[in-house]
């Protein structure tokens, strides 16, 4: 099941709610809000079928998150070092608190 969005009025055609696949609609089908044709619509979301394995969904999520992941910088490495030292010996960090 997929969701299609009108480029003019942003109407969403959800195949699951409409119970008709996008490809099954006639070429003459028009947007119920603004009257534009199918060529004005673009695919927004494509949901995997219910029979798809659960792991496939998590792989897609990992790929999406990898796009936004940034490499760690020196500050993050130093903060991780400070936190690990604090966990091992909290009294050594106490003089630095105010």
pLDDT digits (tens, 9 = 90+) for 39-70: 999 999 876 555 555 555 567 777 777 777 66
Structural domain for 45, as ranges: 2-89
pLDDT digits (tens, 9 = 90+) for 4-44: 999 999 999 998 888 899 999 999 999 999 999 999 999 99
Evaluate whether residue 78 is within a structural domain. Answer: yes
- 37-46 — which CB contacts under 8 Å span 24+ positions? 40/6, 40/7, 40/8, 41/4, 41/5, 41/6, 41/7, 41/13, 42/4, 42/5, 42/7, 43/2, 43/3, 43/4, 44/2, 44/3, 44/4, 44/5, 44/12, 45/2, 45/3, 46/1, 46/2, 46/3
Q: pTM for the complete prediction?
A: 0.48
Number of domains composing the chain: 1
CATH number at residue 38: 2.20.28.10
Evaluate whether residue 96 is within a structural domain. Answer: no
Evaluate whether residue 26 is within a structural domain. Answer: yes
């Amino acid at each position: 099941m997929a969701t299609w969005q009108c480029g003019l009025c942003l109407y969403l055609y959800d195949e699951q709610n409409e119970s008709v696949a996008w490809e099954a609609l006639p070429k003459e089908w028009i947007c119920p809000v603004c009257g534009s044709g199918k060529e004005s619509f673009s695919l927004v979301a494509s949901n995997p079928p219910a029979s798809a394995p659960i792991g496939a969904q998590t792989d897609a999520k990992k790929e999406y998150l990898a796009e936004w992941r940034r490499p760690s910088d020196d500050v993050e490495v130093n903060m991780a070092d400070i936190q690990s030292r604090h966990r091992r010996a909290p009294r050594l960090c106490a003089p630095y608190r105010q």
